[in-house]
Amino acid sequence: MRRVGAALLVAALLLPALPACTAIPAEETPGGPEPSTSTAPPEPTPRDPAPSPTPETEPFRTRFAGRISTLPPSVRREMRGTTWKPGCPVPMSDLRLLRFNHWGFDGEVKRGPMVVHRDVAEDILWVFRRLFEARFPIKRVGLAREFVPEEFEPRISSRRSVTAGFNCRPVITPHGPVDRFSQHAYGLAIDINPVQNPYVTADGFVRNRMARPYVDRSKDLPGMIREGGVVVRAFDAIGWAWGGRWSGGKDYMHFSLLGR
């Protein structure tokens, strides 16, 4: 303590004569090196350890984090005229934006947005917490794209596998759209890893060629949803139904409140 006091006294006496040292914060001088005109930084001391990662970064990297909000103006602008249009069965005010962490296919924690109906937002956030805790991999979480019926193609080759919720569009089968609103148009349905969990017709037809390796549901590949697995159990717990249980064609990606 005496040496610390002496160092402080010397620093106080030299301070008027050494204006260049005034950039050194006062709390760093006790126990540190003597003031110097050298431009080299002082060597670290036990009182001045090297910086370490802050605790604030840990929850994002290793723990689930999610939140619910009303649609911000930027999202409203992005959706208006594309995934939401006048005549859609729900107003934008009934929708909520979710942002949450999920595990990617590369084993890293990602974060993405999803829009759902406000009445189911809490339940859906709970489901994705369960999937995160089980380290179920999701390729990507994002906002849906506009569906244009006139641009429907009977065959596609797409690796785009986006997990999404709300989209004001009709029901889409592997053979084309149907003339009624999908449950996605109400914010009451979610598709998870569409490439890894395709819609397969009763005769085995799959529209996306990139999804063919996943038609055999006895396989256990990353991102696949299986009966009895964590994804199905989590949605069962909130009362949602899985398209993989439909009779006839199976929509393995699809979960909805009303089972449609």
Please report the pLDDT score of residue 61 as a whole number: 64
What are the residue ranges of helices labelled H in the chain? 2-14, 58-62, 73-79, 121-133, 230-237
Percent of the chain with pLDDT strictly greater than 70: 77
* Beta strands 199-200 and 66-70, pairing class: unpaired
Contact status, residue 132 vs residue 101, Cβ threshold 8 Å: yes
**Does position 21 have pLDDT exceeding 80, yes or no?**
no
The identity of residue 169, as a single letter, is: R
Give 225-240 pLDDT, tens digit per residue.
999 999 999 999 999 9
Residue with tokens 């969990």: 197
Q: Which residues fall within 8 angstroms of residue 226, CB to CB, at 6 or more apart? A: 217, 220, 232
Buried b (16+ CB within 10 A) or exposed e, 85-105: eeebebeeeebbbbebbbbbe
Question: How confident is the model at residue 2, as a pLDDT?
Answer: 41
Q: With pLDDT > 90 as the criterion, what percentage of the chain qualifies?
A: 75
Q: Tokens 């819609």 map to which residue?
A: 199
- Say yes or no to pLDDT of 58 above 90: no
Reported as a single tens digit per residue, the pLDDT across 123-139 is: 999 999 999 999 999 99
| C-beta atoms surrounding 232 within 10 Å | 18
CA 194 → CA 69, 169, 190, 214, 259, distances in Å?
26, 17, 10, 10, 17
The whole model's pTM is what? Answer: 0.76
Buried/exposed code over 250-260 (b: 16+ C-beta within 10 A; e: otherwise): bbbbbbbbeeb
pLDDT surpasses 50 at 247? yes
pLDDT of residue 23: 38
- Confidence label for 62 from pLDDT (cuts 50, 70 and 90): confident
Rounded Cα–Cα distance for residues 137 and 195 (Å): 13
**pLDDT at position 115, please?**
98
Contact between 56 and 49 (Cβ < 8 Å):
no
17, pLDDT greater than 90: no
pLDDT score at 12: 40
Separation CA 192–CA 254 (nearest Å): 7
pLDDT digits (tens, 9 = 90+) for 68-113: 999 999 999 999 999 999 999 999 999 999 999 999 999 999 999 9
Write down the pLDDT at residue 29.
36
What is the SS3 string spanning 34-85?
CCCCCCCCCCCCCCCCCCCCCHHHHHHHHCCCEEEEECCHHHHHHHECCCEC
- Average pLDDT of 199-227? 96
